[in-house]
Structure 1
Amino acid sequence: MCGRYQIDDEVSVEIRSMIEKIEQKTAGVTLKRGEIYPTNLVPVWMPVNGQPEPEAAVWGFPGFSGKGVLINARAETVPDKKTFRACMEQRRCVIPASGFYEWDTGKNKIYFRNPHEEVLYMAGLYQQIDREVRFVIVTTQANASMLDVHNRMPLLLRKEELKDWILDERRARGMLAQEPYPLEKFCEFEQARLPFL
């Protein structure tokens, strides 16, 4: 699962450049920075005229019966599940982030990031709904660096895989089964457990 992530455009030149390009070409659009929540408007890489281009998109497909939003899609089921099948075939995107958050069983908020790069890239699917681009993050089974916190994590892509994920359906389907690379984790605060008096 991935329910929050971070965009730090002060650290990442790539993400800052994406945001500036989107805001310049789309008058009146301001993208969210910092901690990203579902329904925020953020930068993603999408196919435009046969090339990956930065575009603005809202995190979350509308939920069933108009309630809430769907924010994740399981890599194991996206090729077959009705909600995501057409997106997997034709509408794949990449979500750049500085890192993402998950909560452990003690309700401690843990931050995960790529130890070797300023940006990590999460595989996504998108659709257009009422003139608005909406996306979900594809998740997979957790690797060893994540497993003690949660059993799911985003499907991570390496920079050299972005174009294939977005533009090449056959290769993208192969990426659904790959294990994400190891991550670093940080816990800023630990939940205090106080005994009853």
Structure 2
Amino acid sequence: MCTWFYAEKATLSPIITKAQQLPLTDTIMNTMARSAAMSGNIRPTDMAAVFAPNKQGNIAVFPMIWGFTVDASPKPLINCRIETADRKPVWKDSWFRRRCVIPASWYYEWGIPPSEVGYHNA
């Protein structure tokens, strides 16, 4: 489950609803066969609601596909290190020019994913 995060619908509902109502959401659903749920467990290649600059440079809500892809790899890349992101060729341009904020209730790695009613231990 590395790189997964959880978007709790009750908490993030205003953001998720706004992203779901955008025409871009329909385009992503139709061309990439992705669900527009944007809540619950979000894993790489799922659609998620994010904050990013619009064409005027103002922060706005958008639907985006969670993950970082490059032409050289069929799978999303993971584990960018903040210490070197501004220098590594694969991350450098995006580090300076394509940032966004991903609202999440929590993130987690390996193990049983948390649920809306509490945590479960294996």
Question: TM class by shorter-chain length?
Answer: 0.7 to 0.9
What is the TM-score with the length of structure 1 in the denominator?
Answer: 0.49
CA RMSD of aligned residues (A): 2.3
C-alpha separation in 1, matches of 2:6 and 2:60: 20
Higher-Rg member (1/2)? 1
Between the aligned partners of 1:89 and 1:63, the Cα distance in structure 2 is 16
Structure having the larger proportion of residues in helix:
2
- Residue 5 (structure 2) aligns with: 5
CA contact (8 A) 2:4 2:108 kept: yes
Taking only the aligned residue pairs, the percentage that are identical comes to: 30
Aligned residues: 109
In structure 2, stretches of 5+ residues that fail to align are 30-35
Tell me: CA distance 1:31–1:4, structure 2 relative to 1, closer, same or farther (3 Å): same
The separation in 2 between residues aligned to 1:81 and 1:189, in whole angstroms, is 37
Q: Which runs of 4+ in 1 moved over 2 A?
A: 61-67, 108-111
Q: Residue 158 of structure 1 corresponds to which residue in structure 2?
A: none
Which has the higher relative contact order, 1 or 2, with Cα contacts under 8 A spaced 6 or more apart?
2
Name 1:181's counterpart in structure 2: none
Which whole-Å CA distance do the structure 1 matches of 2:119 and 2:37 have between them? 27
> For residue 32 of structure 2, what is the aligned residue in structure 1?
none
CA contact (8 A) 1:42 1:59 kept: yes
2:68 counterpart residue number: 61
Structure 2 length normalisation: TM-score?
0.75
Bigger strand fraction: 1
- For 2:13 and 2:63, locate their aligned partners in 1 and report how far apart those are by CA, in whole Å: 13
Per-residue deviation, 1:52 = 1.2
